[in-house]
Chains A and B, each alone.
Chain A
Amino acid sequence: MTPGSARISRRALLAAGVGTAAAPLLGACGGVSTNGAGDDENAVVLMSNQFSPVEEKQRFEKILSDRVTGERVAFNQIDPGVFSSTFQAQVDSGNVRISAVGALHGDLAPHASRLIDLDDVLAALGDRGFDADLTDLAKLGGDATKYIPWMQASYVLAVHKKALQWLPSGTDVQQMTYDQLLSWMTAARAGNGGTPVFGIPAGVKGLYHRFFQGFLLPSFTGGQITTFRSPEAVTAWQYMKELWAQSAPASTTYDNMQEPLQRGEVLVGFDHVARLVAAPRDNPGDWMMVPAPSGPKGLGYMLVLAGLGIPRGAPQQAPAKDVIKQLTGPQVQLDVLRQNAFFPVTNAKIPADLPAEVAMAEAAVRQQRQAPNAILSLPPVGLGARDGEVAQLFKNCFKEICLDGKPIPQVLDAQAGQLNRIMDELKVPCWQPDPAAAACRAA
């Protein structure tokens, strides 16, 4: 090395050193606000794991700034994976920065003890017309209201009309049975040159377990937990194995169905409404949404419920209560429906001028709910932090039966063992559609 190059590098080094040393000064205030409310101390921080797609988030922020008066809301969208730990860390340390949380029933359930009672808020909202099913769920298994229902959704089938050409004659796509769905998908695959046209969201973040918990199993067995390893459940999983044989293998990488549907990888898909609506958005004329099929026991369907709660020790409790009241107002409820495809939990009247994709989703969900043989499934009640593990047991059944090809009764027995171990620890009563027995477990 020549002395010259050493001198140059020393000078350059000095410059680099000064540059990096200046950096901490830049952040002397400990960082800049990124929540859209600036450093407004009085803003109500609403932490939520909903509306994470960037456009949904932007639209909801617009709704908040247009419709909520009196308070400034900082909508803090957080990754679903860290929602729970952030919430827990804040409340347990007694240094709470969030004033309200908005999340799914299952996400709030583990934190019942960290939420304040909202009976006063619910009482003040008598004119909203909340369904008793919903306000019962909002007690999280206790006596007091822990959250206020915010919005609801369900799961349906999206169908590209191209797939209708293979629909066996005599099948009404609006009122299918599971057997008819299977015959249709088998015919469609044959007609499509051997490429399957049906998909389920069986990716890591996909919600396919809800298909088993809330649709397939209730339709075949009439229950979810108590009938976990009944002979009817064996039939249901046998059916699932046959349906899976006619489904796109790439399903195991789908986190939502709207993208593979949009790309045309599959033509028929089952998913959460909010994860389907983008598919028909550009060409609604090519698409339809239909209710889930029915099985021997009826048409099982699952309700999805999101709620708004206030953490213990929240800095802005009174303003947060006011924000929650405003978010259940008819205008906000309908704005959310129109723009982000989550349905009102109140008696807000559904207008006629909905966007085409939202209208078709609304019709399918309504038909599902009003079907004479409908079997309502609630999301698990009272499982708390074990909710995810119970969901995983259903996913394990799918993996071992459909992907690994293991014998069905053996898999169901093994998973029922795990299920009962969890249920015996929790000792909670069953929820719909299972009968409310003293202790809920797989027979």
Chain B
Amino acid sequence: MAAGPARRALPLILPSLLFMTALFLLPLITGVAQAFRGPDGLTTGYLRRMVDDPYFWQAARNTALLIVVLIPLQFALALAMALLLRERPRLAGLHFYIWVIPLAISDLAAGLVWLSIFTDRGYLNSVLDAAGISPYAWLSFQHPATMFLAVVIAELWRATSLVFVIVVAGMQGVPRDYDEAAAVFGASYWQRVRHVLLPQLRPSLQVALILRTILALEAFAVAQALTGRNFPLLVGETYQWYTALQNPNVATAVALVVLLLSVVAAVGYLRLMRHGPEPGR
């Protein structure tokens, strides 16, 4: 590694660098300038417009809340799913397939199906009705708790598969020998998971965490389908400013806030990664 890692890495990463410069950096620069350039030169007017909007702070709060609640749940569920599959249950192939299906569903379709479940005259209330329980307005703006719960469940359904697939792919590379050796020495199941499996899964889990957080910051279609603008999210606000309000300047300002949050999250995770011990081989 001593002989100039950068020189060896450069040819390998160069194509992706060129790609990103052409397709991301150049449009980004022209795009971002919009947030600060008004008709008469530089301005903070768009930023002020953004923070004055009654939806902005609510959207910022919701975005943070959703991520803090959703991501731990999602990782717990995805790990549990991967561990279950590792036990080679009957029909494991079928279970695996069903668990991956939500990946194939677009945001729009996912929002649609969960709306049909939670809406006032939807499937959930139909089941309650059949059981003799009176229906409940799950998504009403008067019931923020159930509204939030519905968004969490729908997002849990839609996006856990991504974490699950990354974890399963990582688990394939973990040799069974270590686990079996630990078992021979009398380690309990949980001890083996915690001290043998999880350390080996570290690289995959870290990647899943970064990707999932950034993608979670980007997701809004499901929440919008379920709650309209009663549960605004930052990215949803970007689209709102862009399409409905036709103000690309403020839209870009909101997008920059999302970008900033993503940078903070990604840098934080990358720091954590570097301080940890080298992943086991």
Contact = CB atoms under 8 A, between A and B. Distances in A.
Task: Answer whether A and B touch in the complex at a CB cut-off of 8 Å.
Answer: yes
Interface of A: 80-82, 84-85, 110, 202-204, 249-250, 252-253, 263-265, 385-389, 391-392, 396, 399-400, 403, 418
A400 B54 contact: yes
B195 interface: no
B247 A249 contact: no
B137 A392 contact: no
Nearest to A1: B175
Contacts of A250: 119-120, 137, 139-140
B268 interface: no
B119 A253 contact: yes
A252 B246 CA distance: 22
Contacts of B230: 252-253, 403
Contacts of A203: 228
Contacts of A388: 244-247
Contacts of A387: 246
Nearest to B245: A388
A265 B247 contact: no
A396 B245 CA distance: 13
Contacts of B269: none
A265 B121 CA distance: 7
Contact of B242 (A81, A204, A249, A252): A81
B140 A399 contact: no
A235 B230 CA distance: 26
Contacts of B121: 263-265
B43 interface: no
Nearest to A107: B246
A110 B140 CA distance: 35
A83 B26 CA distance: 23
The 10 closest A-B pairs by CB, nearest first: A81-B243, A388-B245, A249-B140, A388-B246, A203-B228, A385-B246, A253-B228, A389-B245, A204-B228, A252-B228
A252 B52 contact: no
Interface in B92-142: 115, 119-121, 137, 139-142
Contacts of A252: 140-141, 227-230
Interface string B15-40: 00000000000000000000000000
B204 interface: no
Contacts of B224: 204
Interface in B231-281: 239-240, 242-248
A385 B247 contact: yes
Identify the interface centre among A80, A265, A389, A396: most chain B CB within 10 Å of its CB: A389
Contacts of A263: 121
Contacts of B239: 81
A362 B246 CA distance: 32
Nearest to A255: B228
B247 A253 contact: no
Contacts of B245: 388-389, 392
B108 to A, nearest CB: 11
Contacts of A81: 239, 242-244
Given A82-B243, A389-B245, A418 B52 contact: yes
Interface in B192-244: 224, 226-230, 239-240, 242-244
Interface centre among A203, A265, A386 (most CB of B within 10 A): A203
